[in-house]
């Protein structure tokens, strides 16, 4: 399993995001696919609220390879003093290994986080998820958008666990247009050009248009 890192380089003639070498074992095509998708979308990462925020983003980069990007908002500033600089550590995983890998990630969360995340999946929850997941006329691809107030990376772990649980849930694979694997992002600041499953801070979710938002609480989905 290969690993890549994208970070902001300020100590170069042309400061900016770049892969940390070496990348020689990964094809140019894979590098381009990873570069386009590794970072969660949206504006506003420099807000002090998101200092130290973490996100998991999982997406296909070829027919048999999936990238799992662990993104953190660092305390770094760019050459103009702007904050919100992010760093991504990307694992390349075989498609047939991704579900057991995600299940392994879930097992690493504290028991209290896993229990709370499971409580979200009531009958009402599944109804809203399925309604969002089914294909809609005039929409290219169905998307499930979760929302919750963002109060720091530790409390957001429950939202992460909800997204990961949904990513490995067998009922999703039976829905039209979803199949064996689908992309997800556990924290982004917009749903546009984002994963099939994405979680947003509630203040950002309120800015979306044309997408049903599933608002999460710690106990139930409202």
pLDDT tens for each residue of 141-156: 899 999 999 999 999 9
79-102: per-residue pLDDT in tens? 888 999 999 999 999 999 999 999
Is 167 exposed, middle or buried, given 0-12, 13-18 or 19+ CB atoms closer than 10 A?
Answer: buried
Task: Return the pLDDT at 35.
Answer: 96
- Cβ atoms of 199 and 188 within 8 Å: the answer is yes
pLDDT top residue among 162 and 171: 162
pTM, full prediction:
0.93
Task: Return the pLDDT at 62.
Answer: 92
CA distance 17 to 206: 30
| Whole-number Cα distances in Å, 199 to 23, 55, 207 | 30, 10, 13
What tokens were used for 206? Answer: 């309120």
CA distance 74 to 83: 8
107-127: per-residue pLDDT in tens? 999 999 999 998 888 777 788
What tokens were used for 71? Answer: 């993104």
Instruction: Please identify which residue in the block is written with the tokens 């130290």.
Output: 52
19-67: per-residue pLDDT in tens? 998 777 899 999 999 999 999 999 999 999 999 999 999 999 999 999 9
Task: Return the pLDDT at 219.
Answer: 53
Query: Which helix (H) or strand (E) segment is 80 a member of?
Result: none
Domain ranges of the chain: 3-215
Sorted by sequence, the CB contacts under 8 Å of residue 57 that are 6+ apart come out as 37, 38, 39, 40, 68, 69, 71, 183, 184, 185, 186, 188, 195
CA distance 141 to 221: 23
């Amino acid at each position: 399993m290969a690993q890549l890192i994208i970070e902001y380089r300020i100590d170069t003639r042309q400061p900016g995001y770049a892969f940390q070498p070496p990348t020689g074992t990964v094809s140019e095509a894979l590098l381009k696919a990873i570069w386009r998708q590794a970072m969660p979308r949206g504006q506003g990462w420099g807000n002090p609220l998101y200092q130290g925020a973490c996100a998991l983003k999982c997406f296909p980069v070829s027919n048999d390879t999936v990238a799992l990007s662990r993104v953190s908002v660092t305390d770094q500033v760019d050459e103009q003093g702007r904050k919100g600089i992010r760093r991504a550590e990307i694992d390349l995983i075989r498609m047939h290994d991704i579900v057991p890998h995600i299940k392994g990630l879930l097992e690493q969360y504290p028991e209290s986080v896993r229990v709370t995340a499971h409580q979200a999946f009531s009958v009402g929850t599944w109804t809203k998820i399925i309604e969002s997941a089914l294909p809609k006329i005039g929409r290219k691809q169905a998307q499930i958008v979760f929302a919750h107030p963002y109060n720091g990376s530790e409390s957001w772990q429950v939202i992460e666990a909800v997204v990961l649980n949904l990513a490995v849930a067998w009922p999703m694979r039976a829905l039209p247009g979803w199949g064996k694997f689908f992309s997800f992002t556990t924290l982004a600041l917009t749903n546009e050009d984002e994963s099939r499953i994405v979680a947003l801070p509630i203040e950002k979710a309120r800015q979306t248009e044309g997408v049903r938002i599933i608002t999460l609480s710690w106990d139930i989905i409202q």
